[in-house]
């Protein structure tokens, strides 16, 4: 007999409760389906599995090492932490103004002495510059080799953190990655997409090398750059161009949509109630504006792909 699991764990942090709920779902699936899901997690390096591992990591060795107590340092990460201090106030201000909301909980930033430690504590892959997980912002010492990118990456991750703290981890996980990555790249003025220019992205769009904006995201298997055969920087840049188009073409609708998303309105519903249309015609207008060279067949194929979601 399968054990009963109490999902109403009020004293659990939300990410832990999320992992518990996913475990409960696996326990109540037919065994062969659960086996397939678990195998897929392992083969894909599933974010859920990495976050669950990160949840078990102790941060007892971390302590403030700068004048800003919001920055918690792993021994050996003092140089990175000190570089963050003068950048943090402006980055917070930029994010709060762009996303129409203050941070719903105190900001905590962890800096790491090695990429391996960053990966194990954050649930991100070791090559990442930063990551938000478990309601905390994590920064990798990889940034020490490209100090000129630190401001952009910090602002990018703060954008993620602001939205996640507003919504909660579970609701945030249902927002399509193209939107929150595009928003973060837009707000940070290209942070996370530094090697791909807007012009590069327009050329790729004209060639049909593009992501397709879904109106929802499956919690267990979120899409990423590789889902569309794109590199991360190209994916982020294209997504930021589209999010920027949504903002600039109708600023009032954009603010209404973002506030609705922060209030945990379903993503597709937030778009329809704010723009009075679904995502497909907005995407089609974007393609024709951002890349006039996109052939009509490419527009139709992209529109059909969205309708099929």
pLDDT at 186: 98
Which residues contact residue 230 at a Cβ distance below 8 angstroms, ignoring those fewer than 6 apart?
204, 209, 210, 211, 238
Distance separating alpha carbons of residues 305 and 309, to the nearest angstrom: 7
pLDDT tens string, the chain, 309 residues long: the values are: 444 434 343 333 444 444 444 544 444 556 544 444 443 433 334 566 666 677 778 899 999 999 999 999 999 999 999 999 999 999 999 999 999 999 999 999 999 999 999 999 998 888 899 999 878 999 999 999 999 999 999 999 999 999 999 998 888 888 999 999 999 999 999 999 999 999 999 999 989 999 999 988 876 677 889 999 999 999 999 999 999 999 999 999 999 999 999 999 999 999 999 999 999 999 999 998 875 444 444 444 554 554 454
Question: Which residues does residue 73 pair with via DSSP β-bridges, in sequence order?
Answer: 63, 111
Distance separating alpha carbons of residues 157 and 180, to the nearest angstrom: 10
pLDDT at 172: 87
For the chain, domains (ranges, CATH) are 14-55 (no CATH), 63-167 (3.30.2010.30), 174-308 (no CATH)
The count of other CB atoms within 10 Å of the CB of residue 86 is 11
Distance separating alpha carbons of residues 134 and 15, to the nearest angstrom: 6
pLDDT at 2: 40
pLDDT at 300: 47
The count of other CB atoms within 10 Å of the CB of residue 260 is 17
The count of other CB atoms within 10 Å of the CB of residue 262 is 20
0.85 cut: is pTM over it? no
pLDDT at 43: 34
pLDDT at 31: 57
Of 158, 150, 155, the closest CA to residue 129 belongs to 150
What the block records as the tokens of 128 is: 């990442």
pLDDT at 54: 76
**Strands 71-73 and 63-64, sheet pairing:** antiparallel
Distance separating alpha carbons of residues 302 and 223, to the nearest angstrom: 17
């Amino acid at each position: 007999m399968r054990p009963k699991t109490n999902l109403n764990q009020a004293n659990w942090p939300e990410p832990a409760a999320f992992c518990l709920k996913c475990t409960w779902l696996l326990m109540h699936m037919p065994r062969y389906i659960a086996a397939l899901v678990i195998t897929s997690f392992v083969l894909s390096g599933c974010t859920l599995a990495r976050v669950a591992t990160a949840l078990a990591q102790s941060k007892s060795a971390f302590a403030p090492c700068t004048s800003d107590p919001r920055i918690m340092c792993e021994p050996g990460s003092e140089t990175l932490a000190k570089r963050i201090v003068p950048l943090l106030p402006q980055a917070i201000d930029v994010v709060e103004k762009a996303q129409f909301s203050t941070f719903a909980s105190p900001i905590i930033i962890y800096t790491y002495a090695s990429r391996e430690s960053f990966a194990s504590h954050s649930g991100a892959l070791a090559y990442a510059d930063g990551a938000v997980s478990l309601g905390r912002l994590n920064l990798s010492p990889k940034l020490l080799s490209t100090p000129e990118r630190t401001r952009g990456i910090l602002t990018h991750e703060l954008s993620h953190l602001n939205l996640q703290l507003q919504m909660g981890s579970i609701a945030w996980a249902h927002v399509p990655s193209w939107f929150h990555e595009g928003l973060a790249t837009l707000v940070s003025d290209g942070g996370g997409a530094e090697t791909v220019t807007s012009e590069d992205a327009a050329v790729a769009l004209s060639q049909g090398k593009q992501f397709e904006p879904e109106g929802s995201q499956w919690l267990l298997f979120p899409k990423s750059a590789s889902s569309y055969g794109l590199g991360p920087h190209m994916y982020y840049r294209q997504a930021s161009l589209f999010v920027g188009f949504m903002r600039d073409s109708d600023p009032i609708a954009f603010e209404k949509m973002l506030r609705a998303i922060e209030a945990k309105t379903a993503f597709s519903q937030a778009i329809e109630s704010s723009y009075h249309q679904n995502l497909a015609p907005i995407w089609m207008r974007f393609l024709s504006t951002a890349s006039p060279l996109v052939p009509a067949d490419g527009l139709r194929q992209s529109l059909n792909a969205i309708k099929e979601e």
